[in-house]
Structure 1
Amino acid sequence: MIFWQHILNKLKDNQKIYVLTVIENHGSSPGRKGFKMLVAQDGFIFGSIGGGVMEFSLVEEAQRLLTEEKSPTFIKKQIHKGNIKDGSGMICSGEQTVAFHCLDNKHISVVRDILNCLKNGEKRTLRLTPNSFDLSHKILENRFDYQITSTTNWFFEEHIGSKETLYIVGGGHVGVAVSELFIKLGFYVVVFDNRKNLNTLKNNTFANKKMVINYEKINNYITKGNTSYVAIMTNKYTDDKLVLSKLLKNDYKFLGVLGSKAKLKTMWEVLLKEGFTQEELNTIYAPIGISIKSETVEEIAVSIAAQIIQIKNYGK
């Protein structure tokens, strides 16, 4: 989000800027599809399209073009195989194509719309072509879609807004650390608690949404489906069990519970007596997070993030 906020600030300051976007990559290219960089008239640079000598040369080109009366939109292919035609000087044996779009104050509304999408968790599509830098209501099946027929006939589309939502049930210290990390990872983060006037919930400035609810009605607040991830970490065993019993039969990409193995063993025994099956319990990630002997709330957050990223990228 900070990338687009920097762009908005420069445009509101009546500066021209270049946005450099990697729209295609192959092999061991240092840049990946969607990597972006901002180059402003005043010399301000933010973001990255892969780093190194390749990035430096493209930034220099953008800075030069910003001094000219007309700053064109174009794409540039780079081959990272040493000193060859279109070569970047790098030896990582990959290729990438970078789109150059010059924006000015006429693009303020588009950038504001992008920021609103990111803030509110809306799903939109950023479409780049030789003649446009626009936001549409189209929903992509995947994060990116693109086609390059020639240097003058191409498009690149990117999902804007969080496709994945992390629901954190429990607004304590661990919830704050998890919120902070997952916002950086591009998730839309919602935090629930059943305690009013909870300091850690009030002071959680990272989450997109915070709600004080009755856990008996937790089902009403969490969307089922393959883009929903649920992390249960309330402040007591009875609330963990209550929330889990309400959600266990629902379909989520991830459902995990924070707690010791002894606590979870007791919870499993009770849930089995209440009619839940072992097969259903086997779908729960508990204790939540990968085993890295976490000792601080930040380390717990890292272990949870590593587990969820693995599931998101590789599937269950």
Structure 2
Amino acid sequence: MSRFIKEYLAKAQELSSQGICFVTVTLIQPEGHVPQDIGAKAIITSEGIVWGTVGGGRLEAQAIEHSKKLIEKPSHPELVRYDLQRDLNMVCGGMASLFYELSTQSSWKIAVFGAGHVAQAVVPLIANFDCQIWCLDPREEWLAKLPKKGNLKKIHSSDLPGCVSGLPENLFYLCITQGHFTDLPIVREILKRGDARFLGVIGSVQKSRTLKTTLREEGFSEEQIKSIHCPVGLPIGTNAPSEIAVSIAAQLLQKRDELESQLTEKL
């Protein structure tokens, strides 16, 4: 086994053991002037290239962009052929085919709306689970405080309700924004999608009543309203963000195991 392959396998194993999704990109069928040899490989995570190269420049930039899309919305392996001059405006010309193969360790996907004090406690905690996380907030400075994790994607947006439609299917959702008036529009969009595996909203019992009354008046069904877990989290601990985070994480695990058990019973 060559040193090149040994290094590739070692890096792939390292990422897999950490539960980090990655794409292996391999250069095949090069024609003409191509910036790398056939068989060149790169490993790309949501943070970018972590090992290897397929040539640098615009071809590699395209490989990174396409790989990140695959990580966000997984699909089968793909073979994409590029005309370097026509498609990427590279003066060297030539043709290159890149083979993209996604390695993903978890189908458990969690979207966290809000990056405030509670999110600062809960996101690092659940990032240790075998899951993929999207954290969305209009405040860049709060997103920046979250740890850099391969399974965590930070999304800065001033339109959080508008982001719902662009997220993957079958998510666990947590709404822990700055209050009722920012949570409500997000909850509306999640209910309209109709594919949430879990929907938790932070708040008091009174907030829960207000939220559900508003949604009922807007025409949402009782089944939809009953699917909302508000207050989110198991009834344990105090109101300290660190303890709220534990109660939320525990409820997420409980719901995940419940759904997996139901699926197993159907098989």
Normalising TM by the smaller chain, what interval?
0.5 to 0.7
2:163 aligned residue: 218
**Structure 1 residues 106 and 120: alpha-carbon distance in aligned structure 2, compared to 1, 3 A threshold:** closer
SS of 1:264's partner is: helix
Q: Check if 1:256 corresponds to 2:200.
A: yes
TM-score under structure 1 length normalisation: 0.51
- What is the deviation of 1:243? 0.2
CA distance in 2, matches of 1:162, 1:191: 17
TM-score under structure 2 length normalisation: 0.60
Q: Check if 1:205 corresponds to 2:205.
A: no
2:143 and 2:156 in contact (8 A); partners too? no
CA distance in 2, matches of 1:182, 1:314: 17
Amino acid at match of 1:188: Q
**Residues 278-316 of structure 1, C-alpha deviations (whole Å, 9 max, x = no match):** 221001111111000432111111111111111111227
**Structure 1 residues 106 and 169: alpha-carbon distance in aligned structure 2, compared to 1, 3 A threshold:** same
2:181 aligned residue: 238
Q: RMSD over aligned Cα, in angstroms? A: 3.0
In structure 2, stretches of 5+ residues that fail to align are 25-73, 77-102, 263-267
CA distance in 1, matches of 2:232, 2:148: 21
Q: Which of 243-252 and 109-118 deviates more? A: 109-118
Q: Which has the higher contact order (CA 8 A, sep 6+)?
A: 2
**Residues 103-123 of structure 1, C-alpha deviations (whole Å, 9 max, x = no match):** x98532113234556676348
2:19 and 2:131 in contact (8 A); partners too? no
Q: Check if 1:121 corresponds to 2:28.
A: no
CA distance in 2, matches of 1:278, 1:123: 42
Amino acid at match of 2:144: K
1:114 and 1:160 in contact (8 A); partners too? no
In structure 1, stretches of 5+ residues that fail to align are 1-103, 125-136, 140-158
Amino acid at match of 1:121: C
CA distance in 2, matches of 1:234, 1:180: 17
1:99 aligned residue: none
Q: Check if 1:310 corresponds to 2:254.
A: yes
SS of 1:252's partner is: coil
CA distance in 2, matches of 1:114, 1:204: 25
Between Structure 1 and Structure 2, the one with more strand by share is 1
1:266 aligned residue: 210
1:170 aligned residue: 114
CA distance in 2, matches of 1:232, 1:138: 27
2:138 and 2:156 in contact (8 A); partners too? yes
**Structure 1 residues 294 and 242: alpha-carbon distance in aligned structure 2, compared to 1, 3 A threshold:** same
Q: Highest Rg: 1 or 2?
A: 1
2:124 aligned residue: 180
**Structure 1 residues 108 and 138: alpha-carbon distance in aligned structure 2, compared to 1, 3 A threshold:** farther
CA distance in 2, matches of 1:236, 1:111: 46
**Structure 1 residues 304 and 123: alpha-carbon distance in aligned structure 2, compared to 1, 3 A threshold:** farther
